């Protein structure tokens, strides 16, 4: 396995996506050809989820909390439905 520069390592990109979502998103998109498909998809997924949570901060008043709790509620509802279908 070839050694990659520090700025293109898996851990650095994941941390960048987690702590600075807009910059991490751009870094993942720019390095698409240099990453394997699995690495690219996992980093893109993390960047998308963290970016959506990060953008909730900019909504006025309590809308961020309402949207986040609605998403969590929908997730648990589908999980309960799956459990009863088995």
User: pLDDT by residue (tens digit) across 41-72?
Assistant: 888 888 888 888 888 778 787 887 888 889 89
Residue 50's nearest CA partner among 17, 75, 23, 27 is 17
**Percent residues over pLDDT 90 in the chain:** 7
What pLDDT shows up at residue 6?
A: 72
Cα–Cα dist 50/54, whole Å: 6
Q: Is pLDDT of 16 > 80?
A: yes
Domain regions of the chain by residue span: 6-85
As a whole number of Å, the CA-based R_g of the chain is 17
The answer to whether 67 and 60 have CB atoms below 8 angstroms apart is no
Mean pLDDT for 74-80 is 91
């Amino acid at each position: 396995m070839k050694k990659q520069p520090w700025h293109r390592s898996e851990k650095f990109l994941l941390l960048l996506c987690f702590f600075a979502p807009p910059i991490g998103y751009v870094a993942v998109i720019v390095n698409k050809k240099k990453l394997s498909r699995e690495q690219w998809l996992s980093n893109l997924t993390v960047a998308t989820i963290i970016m959506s949570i990060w953008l909730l901060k900019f909504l006025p008043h309590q809308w961020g909390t309402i949207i986040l709790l609605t998403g969590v509620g929908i997730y648990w509802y589908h999980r309960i439905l799956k459990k009863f279908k088995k």
